[in-house]
């Protein structure tokens, strides 16, 4: 790529179950305004806008990118929408990164959102087709069997998921933007929460949130002028695979492995546990932490749960995962991937506040979506690549 690219501004809403004080446009604009303020820029400084969200069916607002052009100051500028299901927040950042790296634009505003209080994700995910049985079971009904498959394959003990559920909610207590602030969270509270999709308990699943996230990306000249430290983008990768093919490993998908290998090669990361200081990884169900630890190569296959159990991924561990509290603590679906990318950037900018990992200089942002079929990742660093 001809141009270096960096995150020069980050903004998020306070995520909650219902933001009744703002419309979708107000919600997205709030995050975008914060990102511009962080970069000390104004709407007129932005060359192009890239937005992402989950499928239109969720809120029933068709082509929201058209409706949001005004709110995002995009009138008269290039604006585009990215679609990759739950991974969309990550893919949106990567599409925008490409525009800067290719030298097409100098400053790009990236925004992603979901207003789950006005949406019906359950309905939108239960499309009836004659080729398969109509299963009214939600996302958990799709992923819980894969979690059971992981438990059987790895021999992981039952409590590993609960460890993650507690760890991420404790991390969220340091993050003022997190939706869930469960001050009394402990193993007992998780264990006693209702079993929704056995083996997944209520507190082992993500909440349903209203929220938005925005970042400003800039080229090298822009990064030299902004007030705060930029997060330099050291590598970007996306991969996809079909949801159904013979021999597909649904628990540990090849597309995720390939995506990680690609992004780490670009960033010069040979051992992610050693070479990275923290990671913000899309973990909407507790067990996806050990599953993605293996998929992303932080440990050998079958050892993910051991890493979680050892405390290595805790806030004070050697490779903290989701110091912000992660998707388990805030899930505005379309924004969740971008929040992972933005939180990774905040860590290497030294801007993560009370959940700052000491001395973090290189971090991974990760998102996945669909039936574990879309993956998006970036590695960001404090140093210019």
Partner 1 sequence: MSGRAIEDLNEDGPVTKMHAPIRLEYRIGAGTAQSRFLRGVAEGKLLGQKCPVCSKVYMPPRGSCPIHGVPTEEEVELPDRGTVTTFCVVNIPFSDLAPEVPYVCAQVLLDGADTALFGLIAGMPAREVRMGLRVRAEWAPREEWTYNLGNIKWWEPTGEPDADYDAYKDYI
Name the site residues for partner 1 (rule: CB under 8 A).
18, 20-21, 23-24, 57, 59-62, 117-118, 120, 122, 126-127, 129-138, 140-141, 144-149, 152-153, 194-200, 242, 244-251
* CB nearer to partner 1: pick between 23 and 270: 23
Distance of CA 369 to the CA centre of its chain: 10
d(CA 347, CA 210): 23
* CB nearer to partner 1: pick between 194 and 227: 194
With beta carbons less than 8 A apart as the criterion, state whether 165 and 285 touch: no
d(CA 51, CA 88): 9
Q: How far is the CB of 209 from partner 1 (least distance, A)?
A: 15
d(CA 347, CA 363): 7
Q: How far is the CB of 328 from partner 1 (least distance, A)?
A: 18
d(CA 364, CA 298): 11
Q: How far is the CB of 116 from partner 1 (least distance, A)?
A: 12
* CB nearer to partner 1: pick between 90 and 290: 290
* CB nearer to partner 1: pick between 245 and 358: 245
Q: How far is the CB of 87 from partner 1 (least distance, A)?
A: 19
* CB nearer to partner 1: pick between 43 and 142: 142
**Tokens linked to 176:** 């003022």
Distance of CA 172 to the CA centre of its chain: 15
Strand 362-369 with 278-280, pairing: parallel
Q: How far is the CB of 254 from partner 1 (least distance, A)?
A: 11
199: cis peptide before it, omega within 30°?
yes
Question: 130 in helix, strand or coil?
Answer: coil
**Tokens linked to 362:** 């290189």
* CB nearer to partner 1: pick between 249 and 318: 249
Terminal Cα-to-Cα distance of the chain (whole angstroms): 12
* CB nearer to partner 1: pick between 254 and 310: 254
Residue (of 117, 138, 139) closest to 17 by Cα position: 117
**270-298 burial: b if 16+ Cβ within 10 Å, else e:** eebbeebbbbbbbbbbbbbbbbbbbbbbb
């Amino acid at each position: 790529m001809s141009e270096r690219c960096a995150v020069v501004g980050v903004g998020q809403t306070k995520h909650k179950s219902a933001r009744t004080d703002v419309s979708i446009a107000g919600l997205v604009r709030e995050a975008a305004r914060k990102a511009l303020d962080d970069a000390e820029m104004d709407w007129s400084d932005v060359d192009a806008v890239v937005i992402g969200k989950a499928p239109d069916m969720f809120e029933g607002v068709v082509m929201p990118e058209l409706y949001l052009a005004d709110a995002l100051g995009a009138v008269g500028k290039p604006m585009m929408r990215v679609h990759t299901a739950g991974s969309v927040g990550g893919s949106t950042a990567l599409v925008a990164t490409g525009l800067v790296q290719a030298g097409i634009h100098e400053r790009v505003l990236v925004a992603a959102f979901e207003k789950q209080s006005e949406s019906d994700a359950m309905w939108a995910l239960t499309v009836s087709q004659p080729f398969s049985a109509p299963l009214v079971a939600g996302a958990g009904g799709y992923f819980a069997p894969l979690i059971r498959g992981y438990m059987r394959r790895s021999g992981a003990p039952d409590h590993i998921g609960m460890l993650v559920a507690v760890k991420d909610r404790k991390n969220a207590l340091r993050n003022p933007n997190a939706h869930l602030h469960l001050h009394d969270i402990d193993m007992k509270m998780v264990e006693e929460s209702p079993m929704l999709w056995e083996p997944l308990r209520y507190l082992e699943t993500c909440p349903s949130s209203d929220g938005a996230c925005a970042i400003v990306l800039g080229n090298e000249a822009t990064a030299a002028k902004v007030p705060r430290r930029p997060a330099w983008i050291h590598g970007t990768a996306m991969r996809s695979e079909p949801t159904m093919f013979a021999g597909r490993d649904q628990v540990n998908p090849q597309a995720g492995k390939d995506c990680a290998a690609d992004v780490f090669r670009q960033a010069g990361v040979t051992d992610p546990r050693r070479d990275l200081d923290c990671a913000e990884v899309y973990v909407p169900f507790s067990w996806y932490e050990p599953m993605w630890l293996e998929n992303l190569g932080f440990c050998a296959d079958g050892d993910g749960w051991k890493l979680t159990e050892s405390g290595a991924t805790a806030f004070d561990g050697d490779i903290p995962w989701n110091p912000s509290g992660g998707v388990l603590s805030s899930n505005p679906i379309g924004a969740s991937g971008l929040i992972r990318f933005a939180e990774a950037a905040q860590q290497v900018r030294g801007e993560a506040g009370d959940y700052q990992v000491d001395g973090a200089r290189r971090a991974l942002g990760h998102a996945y979506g669909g039936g574990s079929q879309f993956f998006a990742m970036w590695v960001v660093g404090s140093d210019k690549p």
